[in-house]
């Protein structure tokens, strides 16, 4: 069970305590069905050690509160978070220190590092995108291209990197994509049906060309997602929507190298699936 003090940190991070407990328990269960055979053979069950989670590379940190949840699940309560989530650090920075039963520390090690390295990798990549578009009005947003079971944690890591979350679930708004349009018959018909079925819900519609954009603007939606449009097409789209309350989001074909060029067109959002599906882990290790 997560301690009350850690529970407050998790809640203040807008995460669900029960979900964190569940994910941590599942991760530990797949790693140690019957305990750590190597540790049992090489050390006594009363040995005590001190250890630290240290960065091997610079980056932006996310997941310290998840890592210490792993420590607590393994019976380790004498720990200290040295660097809060959202911090930018250099290589060689100590993130967490822990003192306790040596076997317990080694039992927790890999699971804690898996969470911490993965989430910090997402935060680090997100931070790079956010820095690339700094000074523009454009926000960097994630997508639903997340690891099954880890969406809430991965989207938390995006926030720690300075990014913005898109929908957490399919009930957080309507996003009309190409298959919805094909099923409904047209952009206008798809928008009309959503408005009739769920009046007041935020509606975003994906368009492939400027004619579809005109149709979406005429029908009236909150956001239009410009799918795989070139920078020149995106500029034209921004001009078409200039006198509209509709916001524009670019998606598809985006790279860190062209992020600023797209942001400079005046779009409100860049939708970047790579933040969660392609972020390399941040190299972090545990040292006694």
Give the pLDDT confidence of 160-206 residue by residue, as tens digits. Answer: 999 999 999 999 999 999 999 999 999 999 999 999 999 999 999 99
> Residue 40 has what pLDDT?
87
Which of these is catalytic: 36, 154, 227, 249? 227
Which of these is catalytic: 85, 109, 206, 215? 206
Q: Which domains does the chain have, with CATH numbers?
A: 4-127+280-287 (3.90.1170.20), 132-277 (3.20.20.70)
Whole-model pTM?
0.96
CA 208, distance to chain mean position in Å, is 26
Which of these is catalytic: 57, 145, 214, 247? 145
**Which residues of the chain are under the pLDDT cut of 70?**
none
Which of these is catalytic: 57, 82, 131, 177? 177
> Residue 86 has what pLDDT?
98
**Rounded CA gap, 142 and 127, in Å?**
12
206 in catalytic set: yes
Token representation of residue 125: 């990549």
Q: Which of 50, 57, 45 is nearest to 71 (CA)?
A: 50
Which of these is catalytic: 57, 82, 110, 214? 110
> Residue 35 has what pLDDT?
76
> Residue 56 has what pLDDT?
98
8 in catalytic set: no
> Residue 1 has what pLDDT?
83
145 in catalytic set: yes
């Amino acid at each position: 069970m997560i301690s009350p003090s850690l529970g407050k940190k998790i809640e203040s991070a807008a995460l669900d305590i029960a979900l964190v407990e569940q994910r941590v328990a599942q991760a530990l269960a797949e790693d140690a069905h019957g305990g750590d055979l190597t540790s049992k053979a090489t050390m006594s069950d009363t040995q005590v050690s001190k250890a630290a989670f240290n960065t091997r590379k610079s980056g932006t940190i996310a997941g310290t509160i998840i890592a210490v949840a792993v420590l607590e699940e393994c019976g380790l309560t004498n720990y200290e978070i040295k660097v809060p989530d959202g911090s930018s650090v250099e290589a060689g920075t100590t993130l967490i220190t822990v003192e306790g039963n040596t076997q317990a520390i080694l039992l927790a090690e890999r699971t804690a590092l898996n969470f911490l390295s993965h989430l910090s990798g997402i935060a680090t990549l997100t931070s790079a995108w956010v820095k690339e578009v700094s000074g523009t009005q454009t926000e960097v947003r994630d997508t639903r291209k997340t690891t099954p079971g880890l969406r809430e944690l991965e989207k938390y890591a995006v926030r720690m990197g300075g990014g913005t979350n898109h929908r957490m679930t399919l009930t957080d708004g309507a996003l009309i994509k190409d298959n919805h349009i094909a099923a409904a018959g047209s952009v206008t018909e798809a928008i009309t049906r959503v408005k009739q079925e769920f009046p007041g819900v935020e509606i975003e519609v994906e368009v492939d060309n400027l004619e579809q954009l005109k149709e979406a603007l005429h029908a009236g939606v909150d956001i239009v997602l410009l799918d795989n449009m070139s920078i020149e097409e995106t500029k034209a789209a921004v001009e078409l929507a200039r006198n509209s309350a509709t916001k524009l989001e670019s998606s598809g074909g985006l790279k860190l190298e062209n992020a600023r060029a797209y942001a400079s067109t005046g779009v409100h959002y860049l939708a970047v699936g790579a933040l969660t599906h392609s972020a390399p882990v941040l190299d972090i290790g545990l040292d006694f």
